[in-house]
Amino acid sequence: MNETTTPFSRIGGEPAVRQLVQRFYELMDTLPEAYGIRKLHAADLSSAEEKLFMFLCGWLGGPQLYVEKFGHPKLRARHLPFTIASNEAEQWMLCMRQAMAEVIPDDGLRAALDKSLNDLAHHMRNRGDPPNV
C-alpha cells in the first residue's frame, strides 16, 4: 500500500482525523445512549481525545504519533482497568459510526473502517455481558 492509498490519506490526513475524533467525543459527551461509555472517562475528555487522535493517525497508516510518544499501544492492557462488555463496545461504536458518517464521505472507506473498528472495539471487552433480567 503506498502513501496515497492508506486510509489515513483517503480520509484526508491529520485534519480529517482530528475532526473525526473531536466529533466522536462530542457525541460521547452528549448522546444519552453513550452514557455507559462516557462514565468510564474523566470529566475532561481532552487527554482521551488527543490520545485517540494520535493512535488513529498511526492505525490508519499515517504518522505513528502515539507510538512515538507512548510506545506500543497495548490496547487491551491499557483498557483492563475499565469494565468493558458488549454494551460499552457498542456504545463506543455508536459514537464512532455517527462521527464517521458525518466526517468520511467515502462509503467504501467508511464501511471498511467500520468493520475494523468494530472488531477492535469488541476486542477490548474484558468483562462478560450481564445476564438479561
Whole-angstrom CA distances from 53 to 16, 58, 65, 87 are 10, 9, 9, 23
CA–centroid distance for 18 within its chain: 12
**21 is written with which cell numbers?**
475524533
Measure the CA–CA gap between 72 and 48, rounded to whole angstroms: 16
For residue 41, say whether it is annotated as part of any ligand binding site.
no
Measure the CA–CA gap between 65 and 28, rounded to whole angstroms: 23
11 neighbors 17 (Cβ within 8 angstroms) = yes
Q: How many CB atoms lie within 10 A of CB 113?
A: 22
Q: Which residues are annotated as a binding site for heme?
A: 122
Q: Which residues are annotated as a binding site?
A: 122
